Chains A and B, each alone.
Chain A
Amino acid sequence: MDELERQLKQDAGEIEATVSPQLRARIEASLYAARDSKPVKAVERPSSSLWWMSSLTGLVAALLVIAFFNLNRDDAGQAPGSDNFAETTPTQVERPFAETFPLETRPAVLTSPLEKELDDLQSDLEKVRENVEEDMRLAF
Chain B
Amino acid sequence: MLAEITLRNWLLAEIPQSKSQARCQRVYISWLAFRRNPVAVIGLLIIASLVAVAALAPWITASDGLELHLSERLQAPGSEHWFGTDELGRDIFDRIIWGSRITLYIVALVSIIVVPIGLLVGTVAGYIGGWVDTVLMRLTDIFLAFPRLILAMALVAALGPGLENAVLAIALTTWSPFARIARAEALTIRNSEFILAAQVQGVSTAGILLRHVTPLCLSSVIVRLTLDMAGIILTAAGLGFLGLGAQPPTPEWGAMISLGRQYLIDQWWVPTVPGIAILVVSLGFNLLGDGLRDVFDPKSGG
A, B: real partners: no
Q: Chain A: residues with CB nearer than 8 A to chain B? A: none
Q: Chain B: residues with CB nearer than 8 A to chain A? A: none
